[in-house]
Amino acid sequence: MTDYKQLYIGGEWVDPAGSDRFEVVNPATLEVIGSVPEGTKADVDRAVAAARAALETGPWAGATKAERLEVMRSLQAKLLEASDELANLVTDEVGATILFSHFGQIGATNMVLDAYVKVLEEFEFEELRQDILGPAIVRKEPVGVVAGIIPWNVPLFISMLKFAPTLASGSTMVLKPAPDTPLSAFRFAELAQEAGVPAGVLNIVPADREVSEYLVRHPDVDKVSFTGSTAAGRKIGAICGEQLKRCTLELGGKSAAILLDDVDIDGIADELLSAGIMNNGQACVAQTRVLAPQSRYDEIVGVLTEKMAAQVVGDPTDFGTNVGPLINEAQRDRVEGYIQVGADEGARVAVGGGRPGTDQQGWFVEPTLLVDVTNDMRVAQEEIFGPVVSVISYDDVDDAVRIANDSDYGLSGSVWGADVDAALDVARRVRTGTYGVNMYGMAFGSPFGGYKQSGLGRELGPEGLEEFLEYKTINLPAGTEPELKY
């Protein structure tokens, strides 16, 4: 059991204002593995005040780029040192398989921080321009106090997507982890404190929806960076629009993997399905719609059925496990409900569809392949967030692109075929924020985000840092030759 009695605010562990607590349940064993205080509005006020004070006074307010880099590199070292411990913790919290925790959870977290270090090393915060009336300095300054609101599926990775640019920009953060997965956030706070992240730069307040909305609406919060459902994103975006507050929204996805007619299905099936059911299917970028040419549909379905049936379901701490449990009972009910909806709409369950026979008591759903799916079905249009992949047939490449684009979402996607140039032409036509040719993965030095209802703004790369900066133009008298500061 890991029980935290206090909140991390202003560089210290402080008593919460209330007495309620969030219990954390291991989704594989259903055992309570820890608890943390449930934050109140008073705790949010204290955290925002600490973030504001760090932004405006003290060492962080005047930190140079070199000093921010020093803090980030120190945090890198602490995270790398604790990688195994963090991977085990996330597996216990989320139910992610231990292999995915090492690479897709903690490994990816470290890669995000490393990528932002590299961006910051080359980034210039002041630029001299010659204007009509004389020189001008275009300056990029910290956006201010950031509310980072984190989902439960990849908690540390998404925290770092928000906290790394906070550090790089010179901003400060109040981090609100999901009630299901706060333990990793509190351990992250301990490592940040050990790394010398200045007081008030990182503050941790787990909270329910009411208190989370209070954080979003807080007048001293300058920006909200949110990852989660499109429904919650709409509400946050509306609040930020009402207040003219900056926001970045990384929301849902229903991504299509297009299999071209020359694809080597035997050679790519394992990687394709891995991209569809990664993190037990609880990934916004998962390739959950597989678009197969009608001429090869039966062959492709046969291979994918065999491969899906071979996925090992069970103990997520075992390196041989491919699929672990879903995060909680409500999520399992949701996924099972969608499988039934698909069957009711005319899809056929080729493999899976139920609960696996496993010695563990957790919230497991069998990896499921739905075939004979049409793109107007709910299982093809709505994000299921579980280990469910739908196979849809298409007539020709134009039809495949049309189907891929026939979605409210546009977060990721992929195309698979022997002719890379032809696949690249397809990639250019699909309206989505990230895309893979013969793979799907994230490019940590390049922008990540979505079209349409998959969100607003971008994370990662220089573009991700720009989202945490405000532009200022300083006009100077003609003939001035100022010294630029970074």
Residues designated as active site: 250, 284
Contact 431, 390 (CB under 8 A): no
Distance CA 354, CA 359 (A): 15
∠62-131-137 over CA atoms, to 5°? 5
Distance CA 304, CA 236 (A): 39
Long-range residue pairs from 397-400, CB within 8 A, at least 24 positions apart, any chain: 397/260, 397/426, 400/258, 400/291, 400/293, 400/426
Conformational region of residue 95, where left means phi above 0, alpha means psi within -120 to 50, and beta covers everything else: left
Burial label for 381, CB within 10 Å (0-12, 13-18, 19+), is middle
Both tokens assigned to 423:
């696949």
Closest by CA position to 176, among listed 215, 228, 223, 233:
215
Count H helices and E strands in the chain, helices first: 17, 23
Closest by CA position to 479, among listed 248, 178, 210, 134:
134
∠295-300-306 over CA atoms, to 5°? 155
Distance CA 476, CA 472 (A): 13
Distance CA 188, CA 470 (A): 27
Bridge partner residues of 24 (DSSP): 34
Bridge partner residues of 293 (DSSP): 394
For 309, which DSSP code?
H
Distance CA 257, CA 291 (A): 6
Contact 201, 173 (CB under 8 A): yes
Q: What per-residue string of b and e applies to 178-187 under the rule 16 or more CB within 10 Å gives b?
A: bbbbbbbbbb
